A and B are shown apart, each in its own frame.
Chain A
């Protein structure tokens, strides 16, 4: 018996050490605890989003009016279709991940390789879809007028269909040029100017008698209120301030600035998680190929990375509900 190791004589008893009461390895448990804490981070964001929504419940944009685009189908209003596709891609890649874990339990290297590869592909498709979604959101659609109070005014025709600024604004000769740091005071510059000035929009609005103003406020049925022609003119002239096209962190054409802020922040944070997940999946994929886990005799690493990947899917399920459905 060694002189340096003291044995308690209680090995094998409940409190003697060496027990695994939860029957899970250290790594897997720590991955779960990380997931719990990360879930709390995400719920912090989503709860803050909910807070702002309840605070601005009357002026919050309707998701179906914002996310209506599908790639390659220009000019068609197809709310939800594309996000549903993204959700399906992510669930699908979750499935291939679970199949990889299952194949790992059977020590089937070829199948783990195949399923890990498909999982990575799914993640990449999701990320590119999200990039497209962002660029569409940033570019904007119809354009709007911002008011002094920070609200947004939309334009509709008499049938209630949205009308884009470029379809009615009267172009005028304008001396206003974008200020860049190289052209004048070197320490200031500004972002690109909107395609129309506020005056051009007002002129175009006066010239088209069939245009109406859609305010940012919802009625009791959840539809945005449309004003009569005379009230529309009054609303635009007294409250209007500037032209808003697309979205950034300061102003967006869809509704309150916080809407775009939360959109960028929460889907961005989720997208960041997905890209980390794709990276981990690629590392594990190559480890599988070179046979690291085969030699180790256990594919548990696939399972741990799988947990993270499913968590990313789980978060997306909630983001999908709260950004696009509710």
Chain B
């Protein structure tokens, strides 16, 4: 078991000598990503406020960075990198498919109701 770890991240760009070293490496990566998020969240640079696909660019950056963090937590801390491909797909694809579907449906609906509130004949500010 102890030798079965896959010690590469970034598709082999970074190779670690031992599993312990890989753990610290991933911690550094996660810390950097979180720090970037916090700095962007505090300063909110105006250049990133443009609207792309219904959300500001900044929000898209946050969401992508979150998925990056989630990937490394699952793959390295939860050892998904070391499981068989079938096991990995069973857990990840099921979740990813169902969650994307749910999010798409609910956000679509919420946006529509928001439009009705804004443009329809619903008075809520009184």
Contacts and interface: CB of A to CB of B under 8 A. Distances in A.
B69 to A, nearest CB: 5
Contacts of B98: 40, 43
A318 B30 CA distance: 13
A314 B111 contact: no
Contacts of A91: 27, 30-31, 34
Interface string B33-44: 011011001101
B38 A318 contact: no
Interface string A50-64: 111111111000001
Contacts of B31: 88, 91
Contacts of A283: none
Contacts of B113: 54-55
B99 A24 contact: no
B77 A325 contact: no
A106 B23 contact: no
Interface in B22-58: 23-24, 27, 30-31, 34-35, 37-38, 41-42, 44, 49, 55-56
Contacts of A35: 91
A184 interface: no
A40 B83 contact: no
Given A80-B42, A310-B77, A325-B37, A36 B109 contact: no
Contacts of B56: 222
Interface in B74-126: 74, 76-79, 83-84, 86-87, 90-91, 94-95, 98-99, 102-103, 106-107, 109-111, 113-114, 117-118, 123-126
Contacts of A54: 107, 110-111, 113-114
Contacts of B44: 64
Given A39-B99, A79-B42, A326 B106 contact: no
A241 B124 CA distance: 14
A99 interface: yes
Given A99-B23, A317-B70, A55 B126 contact: no
A324 B34 CA distance: 12
B124 to A, nearest CB: 5
B110 A22 contact: no
B114 A56 contact: yes
A188 interface: no
A47 B106 contact: yes
A151 interface: yes
A268 interface: no
A311 interface: yes
Contacts of B111: 54-55, 57
Interface on chain A toward B: helix, strand, loop, or mixed SS? helix
Contacts of A87: 34
A80 B41 contact: yes
Interface on chain B toward A: helix, strand, loop, or mixed SS? helix
Interface stretch (A142-150, A163-171, A202-210, A274-282): A142-150
Contacts of A33: 91
B36 to A, nearest CB: 11
Contact of B114 (A22, A57, A80, A239): A57
A94 B74 CA distance: 11
A21 interface: yes
B19 A102 contact: yes
A103 to B, nearest CB: 9
Given A81-B38, A102-B20, 11 more contacts: A51-B110, A79-B42, A91-B34, A94-B73, A95-B27, A101-B79, A239-B125, A306-B78, A313-B77, A314-B73, A324-B41
Interface of A: 21-24, 29, 32-33, 35-36, 39-40, 43-44, 47-48, 50-58, 64, 79-81, 84, 87-88, 91-92, 94-95, 97-99, 101-102, 105-106, 147-151, 217, 221-222, 239, 303, 306-307, 310-311, 313-314, 317-318, 320-321, 324-326
